[in-house]
Amino acid sequence: MKRGYLQELFSKSIDLMPRSQNKQVPSKEALRLFREVVKFSRQMDWPDPKTGLPYGDMVLQSARKEFEIARFEKDPLMVMKMICTTRESINSIKQKVLSPVMTLDGGQDALF
């Protein structure tokens, strides 16, 4: 490769770069994340006081809707952005759920 080509490539904004429609979207990572969501939702078995439905079912339904919407996205950068956002959300929820358990359990990781 020519050195000028690399300098030109690195100097461009990522939004201005041409995107190939033939590239495979990161489906393995999306599948891994969905499995993590399913596994986590099974651990949330307490009911919502308003609806009476288990929180795990609500989380799973919401995740399913989001994954179905993202299923037809062809842009790998958008897919990775969605994956990162979902992963951050799940980690945030895990921390909120885990912090009271860690307080009660004396620091032992009982749920996860």
pTM: 0.61
Give the DSSP per-residue string, 49-64: TTT--BHHHHHHHHHH
Q: Residue 9 carries which side chain, given as an amino acid letter?
A: L
Over residues 3-27, the pLDDT tens digits come to 566 666 666 666 665 555 545 546 7
pLDDT for 3 equals 58
Nearest in space to 70 (alpha carbons), one of 54, 52, 86? 86
Domain count, the chain: 1
pLDDT for 16 equals 62
Q: Please compute the mean of the pLDDT values over residues 68-92 and round it to a whole number.
A: 86
Q: Is residue 37 part of a domain?
A: yes
**Tokens of residue 29, six digits:** 């990572």
Residue 57 lies in domain: 24-104
Q: Is residue 11 part of a domain?
A: no
Q: Please compute the mean of the pLDDT values over residues 24-42 and round it to a whole number.
A: 83
Q: Is residue 18 part of a domain?
A: no
